[in-house]
Structure 1
Amino acid sequence: MKLNEISDVEGATHARKRVGRGIGSGSGKTGGRGVKGQKSRGGVAINGFEGGQMPIYRRLPKRGFTNIFTTDFNVVSLGRIQTAIDAGKLDAKVSIDALALKAAGVIRRLKDGVRVLADGELKAKINLDVAGASKSAVEKIEKAGGSIKVQPAKADKAAE
């Protein structure tokens, strides 16, 4: 066998279809696109166009707005904190803040602050340093012998 005798298997390669090269080629005139005008051209995007009918994005009402100054808190329950303490991921003796909760895997990422809710039971005496807490959460923490320091949330997002 010689190098010049090597070839692909019959039917493995196809010749490129040359469109728009005359009526006798079978794909002339419209070049396989089937239409004239805008749709026959390249780079055309007619998204949302409904043939002159009022498009759906204009038929539906627009309501409300998104407040760019809103604060997005990590919500943590007391039961979740107690579970982390029981598992040895959090140390009840030191002050627990957002960074400690993130390191323990209680919250996934830091947002504008941590807000503590009273869901679940708290047995450990803890010192919390958070952005907010419900009244019943504060009562449960103080009943367990702990303390809570509520700090204001981060400054508004627009200033960042």
Structure 2
Amino acid sequence: KQEITVGTLIFRDGDKDMQIKNNYDLTWHNHHTPSITGTGVYNGDVGRITKIDLGRKWMEVLYDEEKIVYYPLDELEELELAYAMTVHKSQGSEFAAVVMPVFPGGASMLLNRNLFYTAVTRAKQLVVLVGREQTIRTMVGNAHEGKRYSALDEKLLALVAQA
């Protein structure tokens, strides 16, 4: 299999990958009808590497079994491998199977019903929960979603005051 190393990642033919940044300018064409084209690949889109051409310096990725995108090999920083991902990155996607670790500890703000629901509803056929039943009960019983304090409102007000 052809492969290319980008930083600490090794991309190979057949690998699943994920676009991690919106790119409205990236051109794609339809796999079945190449005359159909468009632009835009978006954060969270998951595809499969179908070809790496080291001579021509590009990598071909197939998204949704229909969109083909050619990435220049020096512009792969918008991609990461997608064999496993966080629940947050999976939002809006579906998978045949989902495996979710459910252990106590870690960030308590993540042990909530909303995160659990999001994880299990990503699966089309199979959900495997690995961990402790008590942790699942804790998550299901916790309807509180931790609010992150980003001070965004204060920053926006400061910008408006400066204008």
For the aligned pair, the TM-score class normalised by the smaller chain equals under 0.3
More strand by share: 2
TM-score w.r.t. length of structure 2: 0.21
TM-score w.r.t. length of structure 1: 0.21
Which structure has the greater CA radius of gyration?
1
